[in-house]
Amino acid sequence: MRPKLLIFQLMLICFLSPLAAAPDNNGGPAPVVIALNNWTSQRVLSHVIGSVIAQQGIEVRYQEVAVADQWGALSKNIIDLQLEVWQESMSEEFASFVNRGLILDLGAHQAKGREEWWYPDYVENLCPGLPDWQALRDCFTLFSTSSSQGKGVLYAGPWDRYIGPRIRALKLNFIIKRFDDDHAIWRMLRQAIAREHPIVIYNWTPNWTDSRLSGKFIDFPPFHDDCYTRKGWGGNPGMLMDCGAPVAGWIKKVASRRFKKFYPCLYQALGKVDFTPEMIADASVLVVVDNLSESEAASRWRTLYAKQLQSWFDLACFGEVKRK
């Protein structure tokens, strides 16, 4: 094991140890701990599901955790649930931990996800050829800043590890400006739109931008699994990642092993939870556009989708949970 990885794991255990799987003061199982990542829909929907679980008389806690850090926490039963696992940015860790039996796959939502470069429609007038990715080779200077040394700038969050390799493999003259969360990306986007200034961001769908802004994803060479594993597969024979992200990637839920052991009824219910594209997008809209707090947005979302929530959690075993 690499020393840095060992040190990080020890720090993670120490930091989150109060939430580790252990009996509570009454001898029962510890509270259900739900991961809170740093994009809006995941946070709102986590509060939605957490509030439903709390109605069953079960204590719920929320843990702020970065995407990169959540896998160890889930495998050590420190965190119990993550409700939005996206294929492009998380498939490698997901497969590794599920295949080793360290976390449990709760199934996919019907919503499909896309994570990719995105621009407002007016940018097409400034960069002819878009949304074809090769147009970026000719007009990258449109996206430069005073500090980018003539290179174009892609504004992104901290999630996707493949952006840099894709830039290099496709020989794009861009650098990445990463922000800590999605709100910083939206502030930058709104400032650019107000001035009709050229901008390209790392966006995703389902999201609030689907219905509230006019824009397009960049069309990179089509995704294929071999693009990520075989250097000779794509247009650049010497490098991996010379293709775009999946256009219709899966979005899944995962749970800790402890969660299934202590809460088999909840585990069954969470397997039924099935977000549509509209559900995920609305969770984002309520905060980013309607300016509600996350808890207010969760409450409003529960009202909007009360029928679906009831169908997911309408299980006879919940009566047994409440009687315990």
Q: What is the pLDDT of residues 115-142, one digit of tens each?
A: 999 999 999 999 999 999 999 999 999 9
Q: Is 219 exposed, middle or buried (0-12, 13-18, 19+ CB in 10 A)?
A: middle
Looking at the DSSP assignment, which residues form a beta bridge with residue 61?
33
Residue 221 has pLDDT above 70, yes or no: yes
Residue 176, SS3 per DSSP: strand
Mean pLDDT of 29-39: 93
CB 33 within 8 A of CB 82: no
pLDDT the model gives residue 29: 64
**pLDDT band at residue 50 under the 50/70/90 scheme:** very high
- Per-residue pLDDT tens over the stretch 292-308: 999 999 999 999 999 99
Given the candidates 3.40.190.100, 3.10.20.70, 3.30.70.141, 3.60.20.30, the CATH classification of the domain at 114-229 is 3.40.190.100
Q: 3-112+250-323 and 114-229: same fold?
A: yes
Q: Which CATH superfamily is domain 3-112+250-323 in?
A: Periplasmic binding protein-like II (3.40.190.10)
- Hey, where are the domains in the chain? 3-112+250-323, 114-229
User: Residue 255 — very low, low, confident or very high, per pLDDT cuts 50/70/90?
Assistant: very high
- Tens-digit pLDDT profile for residues 136-185: 999 999 999 999 999 999 999 998 889 999 999 999 999 999 999 999 99
pLDDT for 319 beyond 80: no
pLDDT of 160 reads 85
Residue 202 and residue 274 in contact, taking contact as beta carbons nearer than 8 Å = no
**If you average pLDDT over every residue of the chain, what do you get?**
91
Instruction: Determine which of 7-21, 64-78, 276-290 has the lowest per-residue pLDDT on average.
Output: 7-21
Assess whether pLDDT exceeds 50 at residue 205: yes
Percent of the chain with pLDDT over 70: 89
